[in-house]
Structure 1
């Protein structure tokens, strides 16, 4: 399906051919018209925020797994509570809000307006005739037949997270958990003066395993084998993490700036290394593991065979993200074997790596992109044999759970369902043998699921960016809908004049690949006028960013009301498509998908003459700040104005883990070649930089060094430093400055002179 409906709606029911033939003139408001536009935008912002649109519900399941309650906003300042019996397929209000408020007021001794009743924790009695909940710091028990309430201490109930996977998720690079005491409680291991010792807990015996450790280079990260016969420990070479600094200029009650610092690894910095050894309690021996030092991340988590303490496995990502291994170690010989050994010429998407160990069957569930798409494999640890579980030109987004007893895989994926947006997330269940794949969410849209405790029921919330969400309760056994829980009426929202965003798709730089984006436009757009285009950019390769869920309003919608067409696009180099689509970013972050973005906006203008691409602006935060500034440096022929907030303007200054993932290791000349700082002399358009002086995500000096380079190249720009602000876009003040900047440079008129009292919008997101 092609999404090219934009012009049809853009010109108020005029047909597409009429839009193509109609001449348009640039929208260039006078100052007075601009003041009115600000006032109108403020009015719309206020109106939208008052309209309740339910986009998601969180079920609070009862202990029996058959009933739940949820709350929803129903007015400017009111909440309703609903009770659902999933087994019976019924739904009713949980209580009468006015009577409940009176009952609560009686026991608390103070008025409680019904629309101010806020309950976050609540559970029902077995007979459903009484309910216990928390109001402020007070627990109350109320009879639902007469609304008599009393304080209670009977507050024990089984809490359940409906979004939780079947198994507790462990994170691959979390700190290695060590235990000094052996599993059989006979020994305790410890480090003394950098060396490894073990002492008997049943006597006075003590073993010194090593003599070559020092306080500067000690042994550490001790792990016992399950049978308590061996210890695994590492000879470490610690490297102190360097610090970055910032100054808090405006701390109340002080007259001097305060220097602050925090540890911060940057690309190329050294890491602590770990050389693995195995130690035998019986013969007090030390055995070197036949493996290179681990010099990236930390000491790994060890995975032992079920009922077999001779072998363990660990994971190793080589620095530079081009090799990933699952390595087996024989504790009797120190020999190693690669169970998984993946290599790539570009990068391994480490942030989305997944391994799930099945020790009872000696198997590993593993996600890799080695066939060009992100898919799931089942690995036999004993033989190394691989079995492809999922396959096709689509992407596994995440694994929810592996049901070991039923040998089933629960996962999310996108791009499998033809005829819809390839980014839409659907939920699936299938066997570990790659058979019996079931789509739990066949309806068109972007889906989010929550489950009952026993997974007999699930709630499916799905929507599109311009299609109101549906929240339905489904039966897992039949996959049929038990009942619709919520489907908000958006007519009140549309009655404000808001124009819902439109999806637009066109071909990318290769002439083959679809590039997807969204378009927001003013409520009072004149079809005879053309409007500047502003791109909200974030080209960080760690994900995709164009919104897919329905939202009543967002910043892009709000900016559009001042007289702009605002767009957001996922160009090549971002994630959640094919490996080739993603690989464009490799050693190439300055690319930022601009070739695709520019073609996309040109195609939009060809379809819709109201989009004036002779006046294009761009804004972004963090990696988006790098991208927005890069737009006016590397593509000044297209982008005319940019607002860049807390940008990582040089990938050598930013955080190590993110930048080496995409720019690689070691740090080569391509880092400098793509830096906004070293390319500052290329600036041609208008640029505003925003930075928080207390940014601990991207060091503030990234922006200051860019500003320094611009000044040295006699380039003129605006700089907003926000005292005390961390990583962000400048807050309400910064967002207002951003709008004023685009009004001045793209609409050619002055924003409100607020200091002299001109009335203007003060609303912010």
Structure 2
């Protein structure tokens, strides 16, 4: 994951101050939002740099000094927010002109500095890394083209991966030891996850040091028999190249993943037996230096085990078992306390809550309770015996930060009740920086004490609010709508000059994926500005979170199990029909759009809901879950062999003949996630059904369709023109 290396994605965006205050007053509420402004940063909120909490009441930031053209790691005080010192500057490093990432060792006497990154997949990259000793200011090369370097707790060694093998560099002897030798592209990976683990279990580094630095636990992926997927990359050369990688589609062979323990003293590696399982989605050392805890899942992902692994004996015993009628989610919330009792989150009572177990797997107590979800676990303050977490206790569209005792008592709300708060705590939990926003208030960054007292506002985006006051922007109207027996969260955006005696075309937006949320009381995304632009062109924009979406309990989220997209589609169609009965909605001009899972949904809706939807846009859609990966798809549908109806009855390639309205299909040919194969198969089905449609195929772009000059601007121009031509037809009663 991202614990070993702090990526240098500098989130401090430029604040645009090109409009004079005089002009602002003259043009108040008259300016039209343009696509160019949406994508050139005019509406970007000013944000804080990604900070790294340090020992004590301090944090560090990666900064760029424009005057010296150097990269620096600077140390700050939480108490004052003032810079205390520059820990390292690239201007002082003879062999390193700049660096893009940094990570500390445990006592913060050394740094790993990274540069020359080459992206692999969504989270993974390789680069050149150096070790830097802060006291001596000595810089030494760890390696080039390596992945995920991490210090040993004794600060004497660094483990890293290269070319699918694992290595340890000893700084005392300057010797490199190669731990594995069988690594091979598209065959065997040691210590780094394969494509599907990286995408669906969201981690890359699959090796961990024991706390005494005597052992290195790692996962080995044998993907020899996993089917291979390939994509042509057009590029700028005369001949295309091919990207070839192992991708297990639903029902196909997964990599054989095994746990191994390397003993530094004897330089030997032993395989650990963990019984029957399909996946090992997490490994983590406990506070016992010789005990690792490994998580295993069966293929259906509804039977999870935690195993205590004895590194000395290389044996494993069961610590905890959790089952679910549908599936068990994987998180990073496992936290070991000083006595090796541990914190664990679970949906076993119907809502996601925090539990405390002893190291024999016996439940000590359930810490949080209620018909609401814990949405983020921040950690445990051992001195105050207090847990910090985020939840939706004040409504599923809001997020608040809470403190609660380990015994489940003395719960306290630390932040605003409404809107959404996200906390970045200091290591000792004495302070946190809170990011707060709502649909009406842009991000406000504030320093809080650990007991919830706001000490200082850091950034409040006042200039952005002033800038936006000059544009035609309509507020989101939040409500619920009862569909198929459920009160679904909804927002609506109307034109500023809305007249209830007129009728307006309606465009629906959704994602609808399991556990997701689009109807949240939070600040605008780029899509929100686009939606507002369309509203000012005379449309009503609506978003409804149907069954299967998140933060309303396990039963609501898992109601779509084994029938993915069926109930979600029914809810969007029913919502469109119910809204169409309102006097101001033109029932003959209703569209829907979505991306990825949402593209699948919009495609299904214009086919199965052809009596209500007249227009649809699908961007990078799945069109058959048979084409998507094992981990994600089988979590919700099981395998195609077990549940063929669940796959085929809701796949739009099987009923393309239902198309009646206007349909735009968009996909990037370099999408390693949702392969363009999905759209190509949809295109073939539409051709066979002799249906006319529009398509926009974008060469070499990945799932986000953003890389390259003007890519997003060009895409949204295409989508805007399509909607205006086919949907935006105002009429009066």
Distance change >3 Å, CA 728–CA 335, structure 1 → 2 = closer
Shift of 1:476: 3.3
Match of 1:239 in 2: 224
Shift of 1:470: 4.6
Q: Which of 278, 286, 290 is the matching residue for 1:295?
A: 278
Shift of 1:60: 7.6
Matches of 2:279 and 2:509 in 1, distance apart?
35
Shift of 1:479: 2.1
Shift of 1:590: 1.9
Matches of 1:61 and 1:344 in 2, distance apart?
36
Q: What is the alpha-carbon root mean square deviation over aligned residues?
A: 5.4
Q: Does 1:664 align with 2:638?
A: yes
Match of 1:675 in 2: 651
Distance change >3 Å, CA 269–CA 50, structure 1 → 2 = closer
SS in 1 for 2:631: helix
**Alignment deviations for residues 143-181 of structure 1 (CA, whole Å, 9 cap, x no partner):** xxxxxxxxxx9x99x9999xxxxxxxxxxx9999999x9
The number of aligned residues is 601
Aligned pairs for 1:83-102 within 5 A: none
Q: Which of 507, 527, 534 is the matching residue for 2:507?
A: 534
Q: Which of 417, 422, 427 is the matching residue for 1:448?
A: 422
Distance change >3 Å, CA 371–CA 454, structure 1 → 2 = closer
Shift of 1:545: 2.2
**Alignment deviations for residues 51-77 of structure 1 (CA, whole Å, 9 cap, x no partner):** 77856445989999989999xxxxxxx
Q: Any unmatched runs of 5+ in structure 2?
A: 1-29, 105-122, 126-146, 157-185, 192-206, 706-710
Distance change >3 Å, CA 319–CA 646, structure 1 → 2 = same
Match of 2:564 in 1: 589
8 A Cα contact 2:376 2:391, kept in partner: yes
8 A Cα contact 1:61 1:453, kept in partner: no
Distance change >3 Å, CA 124–CA 395, structure 1 → 2 = closer
8 A Cα contact 2:400 2:418, kept in partner: no
**Alignment deviations for residues 610-660 of structure 1 (CA, whole Å, 9 cap, x no partner):** 232332111111111111111112222222211111111111112222212
Relative contact order, CA 8 A, sep 6+: which one is greater? Answer: 1
Q: Which of 609, 612, 635 is the matching residue for 2:609?
A: 635
Distance change >3 Å, CA 328–CA 64, structure 1 → 2 = closer
8 A Cα contact 1:388 1:434, kept in partner: yes
Shift of 1:325: 1.1
| Greater Cα shift, 728-737 or 448-457 | 448-457
Q: Does 1:704 align with 2:680?
A: yes
Q: Does 1:720 align with 2:704?
A: no
Match of 2:493 in 1: 520
Distance change >3 Å, CA 369–CA 745, structure 1 → 2 = same
Distance change >3 Å, CA 258–CA 562, structure 1 → 2 = farther
Matches of 1:400 and 1:519 in 2, distance apart?
33
Shift of 1:533: 0.8
Aligned pairs for 1:647-658 within 5 A: 647-658=621-632
SS in 1 for 2:462: coil
Matches of 2:54 and 2:729 in 1, distance apart?
62
Aligned pairs for 1:119-134 within 5 A: none
**Alignment deviations for residues 543-597 of structure 1 (CA, whole Å, 9 cap, x no partner):** 2123432238622112223221112221110122200110122122222623333
Match of 2:328 in 1: 348
Distance change >3 Å, CA 217–CA 501, structure 1 → 2 = closer
Match of 2:437 in 1: 463
Distance change >3 Å, CA 689–CA 228, structure 1 → 2 = closer
Matches of 1:364 and 1:700 in 2, distance apart?
44
8 A Cα contact 2:589 2:729, kept in partner: no
Match of 2:172 in 1: none
Q: Which of 395, 402, 409 is the matching residue for 1:428?
A: 402
Q: Does 1:273 align with 2:247?
A: no
Matches of 1:326 and 1:60 in 2, distance apart?
32
Distance change >3 Å, CA 339–CA 709, structure 1 → 2 = same
Matches of 2:302 and 2:327 in 1, distance apart?
5
SS in 2 for 1:373: coil
Matches of 2:223 and 2:430 in 1, distance apart?
50
**Alignment deviations for residues 329-384 of structure 1 (CA, whole Å, 9 cap, x no partner):** 5789998653321111111123x4632233x4131211110110001111112252
Matches of 1:290 and 1:337 in 2, distance apart?
10
Shift of 1:538: 0.8
Distance change >3 Å, CA 405–CA 159, structure 1 → 2 = farther
* Greater radius of gyration (CA): 1
Match of 1:367 in 2: 345
TM-score (norm 2): 0.68
Matches of 1:59 and 1:573 in 2, distance apart?
32
Q: Any unmatched runs of 5+ in structure 1?
A: 1-38, 71-99, 109-117, 140-152, 162-172, 186-215, 750-765
Distance change >3 Å, CA 643–CA 123, structure 1 → 2 = same
Matches of 1:448 and 1:225 in 2, distance apart?
31
Match of 1:393 in 2: 371
**Alignment deviations for residues 494-526 of structure 1 (CA, whole Å, 9 cap, x no partner):** 34332222212222322xx43112222334444
Distance change >3 Å, CA 406–CA 491, structure 1 → 2 = closer
Q: Does 1:379 align with 2:360?
A: no
Distance change >3 Å, CA 47–CA 525, structure 1 → 2 = farther
Matches of 1:474 and 1:586 in 2, distance apart?
41
Q: Which of 518, 521, 544 is the matching residue for 1:569?
A: 544
Matches of 2:310 and 2:438 in 1, distance apart?
52
SS in 2 for 1:619: strand
Match of 1:261 in 2: 244
Shift of 1:740: 2.1
Matches of 2:51 and 2:209 in 1, distance apart?
41
Matches of 1:129 and 1:664 in 2, distance apart?
53
| Greater Cα shift, 469-478 or 694-703 | 469-478
Match of 1:413 in 2: 391
Matches of 2:102 and 2:46 in 1, distance apart?
23
8 A Cα contact 2:223 2:256, kept in partner: yes
8 A Cα contact 2:320 2:361, kept in partner: no
Matches of 1:558 and 1:318 in 2, distance apart?
47
Match of 1:747 in 2: 728
Matches of 1:64 and 1:231 in 2, distance apart?
24
Distance change >3 Å, CA 159–CA 603, structure 1 → 2 = same
Shift of 1:301: 2.7
Matches of 1:469 and 1:594 in 2, distance apart?
33
Matches of 2:273 and 2:86 in 1, distance apart?
59
Match of 1:306 in 2: 288
Shift of 1:399: 0.9
SS in 1 for 2:318: strand
Shift of 1:133: 8.9
